[in-house]
Amino acid sequence: MIKLGVNVDHVATIRQARMTYEPDPVTAAGLADLGGADVITIHLREDRRHIQDRDLDLLRETVFTKLNLEMATSQEIVDIALKLKPAQITLVPEKRQEITTEGGLSVTTQKKMLTDLIKRFKDNDIYVSLFIDPDKDQIIASSDVGAQSIELHTGSYANAESEEQSTKLLKILNEAVGIAQNQGLRVNAGHGLTYKNTGPVVEQLDIEELHIGHSIVSRAIFVGIEAAVREMKDLIYKHYMIKQSL
């Protein structure tokens, strides 16, 4: 079965809007766990716009499924990650001005730095994934630098404005999955996925983990986070079973 990673950054975004103590992403992670989340994802950004160091420490203590830390490659964040030792890190590009992570990591232009960095993480028993666009050169470079897994950026697919465009973008993602698997990489996917556009991803792509945040947290405002996570799990299960029957 495809696993569901729930990104709880968006809960922290609401808290930081008032610089207060609620809503707590740590509570959200516990409730997401009850709803069936297989992975809890957080992004410790250099500007600390949502997740704070305190959240990271508490989540490290309380997440018993799998904690996936999205992070940039800056020295400060690398030091924190190596000390904290989450089960998995996903390296992402980070720009201060962006609203969310806008594009995939450029692996091809940073091969030496990434090779050294990934080795340090792997030597510390931290599983390394790279968030990249569905691009052949980036996928091959990800394998070259020693990543164990990639997360394919689904943002373009999610933003498709016609069925024709989304079919074309799914095909590109599907080819990317094949290239990655041939390189021995495990494949995750995420960004911009919703209750409306996740079904085709499940049916057509051979993915291990789907990482979803904004849509689940948005629904959670109305139905609660445990129910919102369960609904996404059920949706993934339903489409996975359709795929099995094809």
Residues near ligand PXP (CB under 6 A): 7, 9, 43, 70, 90, 92, 100-101, 131, 151, 190-193, 211-215
Q: How far apart are CA 186 and CA 215, in angstroms?
A: 24
Closer residue to ligand PXP in complex, CB, 33/70: 70
Residue 207 CB, nearest distance to ligand PXP (Å)?
12
Closer residue to ligand PXP in complex, CB, 49/120: 49
Residue 1 CB, nearest distance to ligand PXP (Å)?
19
Residue 152 CB, nearest distance to ligand PXP (Å)?
10
Q: How far apart are CA 175 and CA 125, in angstroms?
A: 30
Q: Confirm whether 153 is a catalytic residue.
A: no
Closer residue to ligand PXP in complex, CB, 9/33: 9
For residue 201, give every residue at least 6 positions away whose Cβ sits within 8 Å of its Cβ, in sequence order, or none: 154, 157, 170, 173, 189, 193, 207, 210
10, 50, 153, 191: which one is catalytic?
Answer: 191
CB nearest ligand PXP: which residue?
213
Q: How far apart are CA 208 and CA 149, in angstroms?
A: 10
Tokens of 202: 């499940």
Residue 15 CB, nearest distance to ligand PXP (Å)?
16
Q: Containing H/E element for 35? A: none
Q: Confirm whether 50 is a catalytic residue.
A: no
Neighbours of 237 (CB within 10 A): 15
152 backbone dihedrals φ, ψ, rounded to 5°: -80, 130
Q: How far apart are CA 202 and CA 205, in angstroms?
A: 6
Angle of helix 225-245 versus helix 25-34 axis, rounded to 10: 40
Q: Confirm whether 211 is a catalytic residue.
A: no
Q: Residue 212: beta bridge partners?
A: 6
Residue 122 CB, nearest distance to ligand PXP (Å)?
19
43, 50, 153, 239: which one is catalytic?
Answer: 43
Instruction: Label residues 208-236 b or e (16+ Cβ within 10 Å = b).
Output: bbbbbbbbbbebbeeeebbebbbbbbebb
Closer residue to ligand PXP in complex, CB, 30/50: 50
Closer residue to ligand PXP in complex, CB, 134/190: 190
Residues noted as catalytic: 43, 70, 191
